[in-house]
Amino acid sequence: VTKEGTIAGPRVLEHIVDTVLYLEGDPFHRYRLLRSVKNRFGATSEVGVFEMVEKGMVEVPNPSEAFLAERQINSAGSAIAVTLEGTRPLLIEIQALASPTTFSNPRRTANGVDYNRLLLLTAVLTRRVHIPLHEKDVFVNVIGGLQIKEPAADLAIAVSIASGVKDRPIHADMAFVGEIGLSGELRAVSQLESRLKEAVKLGFKRCVVPRSAQRHLTSTPEDLTLIGCRTLAEAIDVALLKK
């Protein structure tokens, strides 16, 4: 297996077999993701979530609930992202910490998040939302040892960083979905309805989404209040608890 996580060498083996599965996860965490990248008998990019126990791997029937089991309510720098793995929506906690730097170039550390994506979001926060990060080290961690690759988690990452910098917790019953552009605007993401249904199952009452995506929804869960925002600055203002 290469550094990028793909099968090394010629692709002959992949062409011969009917299915190719990758087992992903941090060896120091108990959860593993079984991802289908080739499947002649079904959909690709599907994901199964398993837990490592003494007798081996067992299925996790409700992954979102498992990932949020140890969540600390009213903790600054913590936000809930509603992501999508294949066709399975998952609620994942993202934690961020900002501290004064002692280096000429502030550090950016990403665990479970693409490093270049983190650089983009910190730049947007500095230029578009006027949150000074040029003198702070920023650390972002995805709980559970998971890897988030889709841009729909942008909003949760950015809001968690803003919460950590301002030391103001995020509303405990609020989740986040949305991609962020370089102008600080929120952009629509795919399969929003299935994401919202998953948030309701876990007891969330409010979800911040791009306003452009809100207009295209055909139905909304009864127990969920949608908060449509055009920009990242609007979303941060709505998300953070007042002092």
Q: Name the residue type at position 243.
A: K
Q: Do 159 and 239 meet the contact criterion of CB atoms below 8 Å apart? A: yes
Residue 114 has pLDDT above 90, yes or no: yes
* Stronger pLDDT, 95 or 7, i.e. the higher one: 95
CATH class of the region 66-239: alpha beta
The pTM assigned to this predicted structure is 0.85
Please give the pLDDT value at position 5. Answer: 66
Highest mean pLDDT among 25-29, 55-59, 204-208: 204-208
Tell me: pLDDT of 226 over 90: yes
> Could you tell me where in the chain the CATH 3.30.230.10 domains are found?
66-239
Report residue 132: phi and psi, to 5°: -70, 110
The rounded distance, in Å, linking the Cα atoms of 93 and 82 is 9
Phi-psi domain of 74 (left: phi exceeds 0; alpha: psi -120 through 50; beta: other): left
pLDDT tier, 9 (very low <50, low <70, confident <90, very high otherwise): confident
The pLDDT of residue 184 is above 80: yes
pLDDT band at 4 (very low <50, low <70, confident <90, very high): low
Residue 11 has pLDDT above 80, yes or no: no
Measured in residues, the chain has a length of: 243
Per-residue pLDDT for 52 more than 90? Answer: no
Q: Residue type for 152, please?
A: A
Condensed to tens digits (0 to 9), the pLDDT of residues 63-107 reads 888 888 888 888 999 999 999 887 789 999 999 999 999 888 999
Q: What's the pLDDT tens digit per position in 140-183?
A: 999 888 889 899 999 999 999 999 999 999 999 999 999 999 99
Q: What is the mean pLDDT of the chain?
A: 89
Residue 165, H or E segment: helix 154-166
